[in-house]
Amino acid sequence: MKKQIFNPILPLDVCIPDGEPHVFGDRVYIYGSHDKEGGETFCMLDYTVYSAPVDDLKSWRKEGVIYKATQDPDYNERPYMYAPDCVRGNDGKYYLYYAMSGPFGQGGYFGPIQVAVCDTPAGEFKYLGFVKNPDGTPAQDFVCFDPGLLNDNGRIFLYSGTQYQFEEEEDFFENEESIKSEMTMFNRSREEILEKAKKGSVMGPIVMELEDDMMTLKGPAKHLIPYNIKGTSFEEHPFFEASSMRKVGDKYYYIYSSQQNHELCYATSDYPDRDFTFGGTLVSNGDVGFNGRTLDDKMNMTGTTHGSIENINGEWYVFYHRLTHKSDYSRQACAEKITINPDGSINQVEITSCGLNGGPLVAEGEYPAPIACNITNGKMPHGCNRIFTDSFPNVNNDGDEKYIDEICEGTLIGYKYFDFKDVTKVTVRARLDVNNNDPVDADAKLEVRLEEKGPAIAELPVGGVDKTWKDFSVEFDAVNGVHPLFFVYHGKCRIQIKELIF
C-alpha cells in the first residue's frame, strides 16, 4: 500500500494549533503555538516546527524546538507564547512574531508584539526586540494579539488584533460595567478606552507597515476593517482574532477567525491595508455552514480555530485545527485542499480524515480511530477556554494509547473518505470505558453506515467488551468505490475505540 497521510497531519501526540503554513525554498513549514497533550491551559510548550517537501505532503518531519518561552524578557510575568507567524525579511533572514500570555489568556492582551530572528526558517531563533513606534516606545495604540505577516514585494505588513462586543452596546459610554471589563481585559485606562471608542476602538483588526529593521512602524497603525461593521458585508461573520494575509495574483486575501469561533473566514481587496470585502467561510471545525449545516447539528465539539491558506506546489490548501481532550487546550493541526474559483471566491470545504492525502484513504489495513473527522452525540458543546467535566465523546489518551473516549448511546463516528475495493469486513478494537463503572451491555452494537443518515449495511456486536482491548468484527456484502464510513453506537455502557481495521 502506498504511503498515506490523514488528519491530524502531525503525530497524534503533537498538538500544534494556530498553524501558519509558509513555503520557504522547497519545503513548507508550519508555525504555530504548541499545546500540551491533555494540557491545563493554552500554549504550554515551546515553539516546535514541522516541515515537508512541497512535492510530498505525506512526509512531515520534526525540525525541533525553534524558540523557547524563557528567551522572552516577559517570561516571568507571562510565560506562554501564543500564536506566532514567520516572514522572510528583505535581508534574507527569518523573523518570528508572537505575543506572550499568562494562564487561560490572562494578560494576553497586555504586551507588545515580540520579535525573534534566525538565518534559517527552522533554526534556533534569537530574541530581537518588540514592535515599536519611531520614538522607540512599544507600538500598543491598539490591542496586540495574533500577529500575521506579509512581505509584499519588499513592503512588510504586520496584522494584529482582537475584537469583543463591549462597544457595540448602545449604552456603552454610560455602562460602567462594560467599560471596566474592557479596561481589565486590555490593561488600559478608562480615558484611553473611551477616547479610542469615539474614534473607532482600541479593538479590531489592525494593520501596520514596518521598516526594514522589521520592528519599527513606518506610520501609524490603523484599522484594516472598521470595528463597527453593522451594515457591512462582515455583519454575519465579524472579526474575532487570528489575522493572516496572503496574496493571490493581484488580490489580497485576509484570513481570520470570526466571532462564531469555529470558522476561518476570508475577505478580499486590491490593497493590503484597506477596502476589504467579506468573501465567505473557508472551513469550520464543526462543518457548520457546509451544505447548510446548522450550529445545532455540528459534527464535532467546536471551539477556537486559527490558520491560513497556502499555495504548495501549485495547489491551494487551508490549514486549521481541531479540539481534543474535551477542551481548548489540546488542539491538533489539520488541513484540506481548497479551490480558488475563476472569480476569486473560495467555497467552504468539508473537514475530512484524508486532507493532504491527495485522495481517499485506502480501505485496507489498520487506522487509528482518532483520525475520525466527525465525532458527535448530537449535542456537542462549544469550547470556551475551559476543560469540560461532563461526559461526551472525545479524542483522549492514556500514555501512548490514543482512542475515542466516552462513546455513549447515539454517538456517531465518521471517517471521510475511504476507497473501498471489494471490502467485505470491518473490525474495531474496543473496550469498556475504563473511567466509568457501567455494567457490560450484552446487546451493545455499532451500526455500520456509508452515509451519515443512511441505512446500516451491518450491525457490529460489541456486547462482549470489558476493560481490555478486544477486536470485534462484522462481515457484509462487498463494498466498492469511494465512500465515507460511519459508526453509530447503541448501548447502555460507555465504550472506547482505539483502532479501525479492514
CA distance readout (Å), 361 to 149, 367, 418:
35, 10, 5
Contact by Cβ (8 Å): 12, 325: no
Contact by Cβ (8 Å): 444, 491: yes
Active site residue 241: yes
Q: How far apart are CA 470 and CA 467, in angstroms?
A: 9
Q: How far apart are CA 99 and CA 81, in angstroms?
A: 6
DSSP sequence for 260-280: TSSEEEEEEESSSSS--EEEE
Give, for 475, the enclosing helix (H) or strand (E).
strand 470-490
Name the H helices within 234-347.
none
Q: Ramachandran region of residue 277, left (φ > 0), alpha (ψ -120 to 50) or beta?
A: beta
Contact by Cβ (8 Å): 269, 277: yes
Does the N-terminal peptide bond of residue 253 adopt cis geometry, omega within 30 degrees of 0? no
Cell numbers 477486536 correspond to 471
Query: Which is the catalytic residue, given 241, 273, 287, 328?
Result: 241
CA distance readout (Å), 434 to 119, 157, 377, 460:
49, 51, 19, 21
Query: Which is the catalytic residue, given 18, 20, 74, 263?
Result: 18
Q: What is the DSSP letter of 302?
A: B
Contact by Cβ (8 Å): 20, 96: no
> Catalytic positions, please?
18, 241
